[in-house]
Amino acid sequence: MKGLELAERYWNEVGAPALEAACPEAFGALAVGLVGEGSECLGYDDGISRDHDWGPGFCVWLTREGMERFGPALQRAYQSLPPEFLGWRRLRESEMSAGRVGVFEIGAFYQRFLGRREPPKDEVQWFALPDQALNVCTNGKVFLDREGAFTAFREVLLGYYPEDVRRKKLAAQCALAAQSGQYNYVRCLRRGERVAAMQALAAFIDHAQAAIFLLDRRYRPYYKWAHRALGEGSALARAAAARMTRMAEGDPGAQEEEIEALSADIIQGLKEQGLTGSGSDFLLDHAQEIQRGIRSPVLRGLPLMAG
C-alpha cells in the first residue's frame, strides 16, 4: 500500500472519529491531509522507504486562532491514536525527519519550507522561493479543509511562478547548463580532469532538469526524485529523462553527444514557447535572449546566472 492511501484511510477510519470525539468544536476549523517531505507525498514510496518515518499518520492544519483554541487538545488526541493500522506501524522518527505529521498552525507550516507565513505578493517575493520548497508545499493531498485557509495558500502556489519570474529562472538555468555541459565538460575531458568532467556532467543534468521543469511549469522535486518526475512530464521531459539515463550509462563520447542533443531539445522547447528566436546552438545565447525579454526591470537587471 502506498503511504498516501494509508494516510487517508488512517484519517477516515481512525483519526476523524477520535479527533471529533476529543474536540468536536474543532471540526469546523481544521484542514487535514498529507503534504510535505517524504517520498509518500509524491507517491514514490516503496519498500525501501519504510525504514524510517513511514507509516500511518496525517497532518492537521489550523489557523493561528484555531491553533490557540484547539491545538493542544487536538495534539493530545493525535498522540493517543494507535501507532499501528492495517498491519503497518509508524517507525521511529529520525532527528532529520521528525515533525512530518501531527497538528500544525498553517502559517508555521508554510514558513518552515518557504520562510514566509503568507503567500508571495509580488515578483521579488516569488523569485526568492526555490522550486523544491514549492514542490514540498504543493505535493500530497488535502483530504478535508473546512475553513479553506490552508487550501487558499496552496492554490496561490499551485498557480506557478509569474511569467517574468519563470523567465528569469529559466534564463539562469539555461546559462548554467551551457557553462557546465556544452563548455566545461569537454574542456575538462581534454585536460584529463575526469573528476571535474563528472562534476560538470552532474551540474549539466541538474540545470537541464531545472530548465525543463520550468518549461513544463512544474515545480521540480528534491534531486533524488527529479529524474523520475521528469519522466512523467511532457514529451520534451520524457525524452530528456531518457537522454539523462544514457548519459549516466555511456562513455565520454556518448555523453558529449547526449549533452548537445539535449541542449538542442531544450532550445527547440524555448522556441516553441516564443522565448527565443536565436539560431544559435549554444544555450548561453538563448539564455541572454530570454533575459532581454523580461519586462520587470528588477528581474531583468539581475546577473544572468542568478536564479
Q: What is the reported pLDDT for 45?
A: 79
Q: How far is 165 from 307, CA to CA, in rounded Å?
A: 9
Q: What is the reported pLDDT for 252?
A: 85
Percent of the chain residues topping a pLDDT of 90: 86
Q: What is the reported pLDDT for 98?
A: 61
Model confidence, pTM: 0.93
Distances in whole angstroms, Cα of residue 282 to Cα of each of 27, 58, 182, 236, 264:
57, 47, 7, 18, 8
- Identify which of 198, 189, 170, 200 has the alpha carbon closest to the alpha carbon of residue 275: 170
Q: How many Cβ atoms sit within 10 Å of the Cβ of residue 7?
A: 26
Q: Give pLDDT tens digits for 270-299.
A: 999 999 999 999 999 999 999 999 999 999
Contacts of 42 (CB under 8 A, 6+ apart): 139, 140, 221, 225, 229
pLDDT of 27 over the 90 cut: no
Q: How far is 47 from 241, CA to CA, in rounded Å?
A: 24
Mean pLDDT of the residues in the chain: 94
Q: What is the mean pLDDT of residues 87-107?
A: 75
Q: How far is 173 from 301, CA to CA, in rounded Å?
A: 16
Per-residue pLDDT band for 119 (boundaries 50, 70, 90) equals very high
Query: Cα dihedral angle (170, 172, 174, 178), rounded to 10 degrees?
Result: 180
